[in-house]
Structure 1
Amino acid sequence: MSGVQTKDVTQDEDEMRLDRWFKKHFPHVSHGMIEKLLRKGQIRVEGGRAKGNQRLSAGQSVRIPPMPEPGEQSDAPSINRDDAAFARSLVIYQDKHLIALNKPPGLAAQGGSKIKMHLDHLLQAFGKGDQKPRLVHRLDKDTSGVMVVAKTAQSAKSLARLFQTRDVKKTYWAVCLGVPNPRAGEIKGFMKKSMDGDRELMVGAHHGEEGAQHALTRYAVADNAGQRVSWVVLRPETGRTHQLRVHMQALGHSIYGDGKYPCDYPDPEGLSRKLHLHARKIEIPRDGQTPLVLEADLPRHMADSFDALGFNPDDNLMLVEEALT
């Protein structure tokens, strides 16, 4: 084990996430171990407690507790052949800057105290240490669809900045309970994190309230099966935790399969009870070129529900997406 040490953030590491900074300097240490050290306050920035998603600034000092040396026992399991093959099967696009994956429902983006298999672990299929691709945004564990990972530190910095702004256009498909009225519009307001026992929930908040963040979602109904359920196309203009799920609940038409943010409409019969929320498309602007458009096919449970409900993705979808602009 190494002793306690302090490292300064270099200029080329400016705006890098703290957890990514750690993986750069200690590639043999798992994300789970880093999160554990952060929770215990053993990793500090400028003497203060920090979180993994904190953005560092050039010149800041980072306290590093005793860490295992390369080759010492670590809690990071190596990826096996089957998991590597599974990770590669998720690829829908790649170039020298990024890889786009179609994340299946049930796969978490990162590890945690009760999560052993996650996308960040599977990214070892594409490189180890500094060569491992980097997450630049997140999807909820039960949400499927397009996820973009960066191949280099510079690409991660550029993509993360784009995702933090409104420059990246994200389109989601959802099966919702009931039919929103009006059929197109926007949902906006403030939300904040709250605890329900040991569960973290997002709840409505007032402007100026501690922890309150503004959120805006545009929506349009693409089709409906009577008044029971509807296919809703969603475009988040901000990127808050659980934003789409909270906003559809606030509208009174929760996303089907969402036990965390329910509404009063009864569930339809004969459909999978998994969450019906899919990141269908991401459009990334490129200097001097047309935007890069990345699309992900529906997961099996949503494709089956679309078939059962008679929803046809080719019907009037262009008009629906125009209603979102």
Structure 2
Amino acid sequence: MSTPFDPARQQASTVCLPPGRWATVLDCLCDHFKAIAREQWLDRFARGRVLDANGQPVAADLPYRRGLRLHYFREVPNERPIPFQETLLHCDEHLVVADKPHFLPVTPSGEYVEQTLLRRLIRRLDNPHLVPLHRIDRHTAGLVLFSANPQSRTAYQQLFPQRRIEKRYQAIAAPLPQRSFPLVHRSRLEHGQPFFRMQEVPGVANSETLAEVLKRDAERWLYGLSPVTGKTHQLRVHMAALGAAICNDPFYPDLQPDVDDYQKPLQLLAHSLRFEDPLSGEAREFESRLTLAW
């Protein structure tokens, strides 16, 4: 049986209508989002999935007005289920900690809306106020922190830009016997081609990772990685640049076909988080229950 639509339990995207000469809101949205068919927009309007700034459904024939703020709910027809389950590690009034499996996105994007960690937790905890405090890649497994209370959210969000939280990852990659560990790798990361891949470029470094070796065998090493900064794909790019791309990485050093192989997950795990709670002052430490295929 399908679940009735409840806007309080789904996070909407927001758009401010740009300048133009459209007659109706519908005409503007169709022109602005060319990948979405007019029939699909009409269906969304009919089901109350396009709202005004006050959260009230609007009609498709509402006259266009520049700067009008609208909320709409992204949908992906026939969304592919992700056959892995998250684990809830901690839940209190202010903070939720979850163990994310490989392949599950943290937030809606692209072809994933309902099959995301955020949407799953909103339904599971019946809390529409959940907001991720940081992100990890869809291909990466491990710990993700969520704010559960808007009133305390800013205090927890500040942990990251102020670097008051210690993040440790584990990764499996080829040996690097020619390098001395622990080592610090710094570089300048910018978006490359395609747009979702990052690349190292000349210039002042904007990313930094501390790498150490936790285990060794003849063919693979288990690395401990501590990102000082939090750039997109930072650990994946840095390991590839060192000459030991993380096992099963579909993006680095070379882009692989866009097909998930559930038998070969990226061997990267957000393993532990440690910080001083900004509300209580107590030391907090969380550790993933997941393991890599060592």
Q: Give the alignment's TM-score, normalised by structure 2.
A: 0.68
Match of 1:238 among 224, 229, 233: 229
Give 1:127 deviation, angstroms.
2.8
Deviations 1:35-88 (A, max 9, x none): xx37x859xxxxxxxxxxxxxxxxxxxxxxx735557896468xxxxx9xx97x
Uncovered stretches (5+) of structure 1, i.e. residues with no partner: 1-25, 43-65, 78-82, 264-270, 307-325
Q: Which structure has the highest helix share of the two?
A: 1
**Alignment check: 8 A CA contact 1:28 1:76 kept:** no
Q: Percent identity?
A: 22
Uncovered stretches (5+) of structure 2, i.e. residues with no partner: 1-6, 20-49, 60-71, 76-80, 255-261
Alignment of 1:279-318 (within 5 A): 279-286=270-277, 289-299=281-291, 302=292, 305-306=293-294
1: CA distance, partners of 2:134 / 2:185: 22
Match of 2:213 in 1: 221
Are 1:179 and 2:163 an aligned pair? no
Match of 2:160, SS?
helix
2: CA distance, partners of 1:276 / 1:30: 31
Are 1:207 and 2:203 an aligned pair? yes
Alignment of 1:98-177 (within 5 A): 98-116=95-113, 117-124=115-122, 125-129=124-128, 132-177=129-174
**Alignment check: 8 A CA contact 2:100 2:141 kept:** yes
**Alignment check: 8 A CA contact 1:149 1:156 kept:** no
Deviations 1:178-221 (A, max 9, x none): 2352131110021111222xx5211112336xxxx600000100
Match of 2:102, SS?
coil
Match of 1:247, SS?
helix
Deviations 1:230-278 (A, max 9, x none): 0000000000000000100111111101121138xxxxxxx95210000
**Alignment check: 8 A CA contact 1:223 1:231 kept:** yes
What letter corresponds to residue 146 of structure 1 in structure 2? L
2: CA distance, partners of 1:41 / 1:183: 53
2: CA distance, partners of 1:246 / 1:41: 37
1: CA distance, partners of 2:202 / 2:125: 44
How many residue pairs were aligned? 226
Q: Which moved more, 1:242-251 or 1:175-184?
A: 175-184
1: CA distance, partners of 2:161 / 2:244: 27
**Alignment check: 8 A CA contact 1:127 1:133 kept:** no
Match of 1:312 in 2: none
Change beyond 3 A, Cα 1:41–1:128: farther
Match of 1:164, SS?
coil
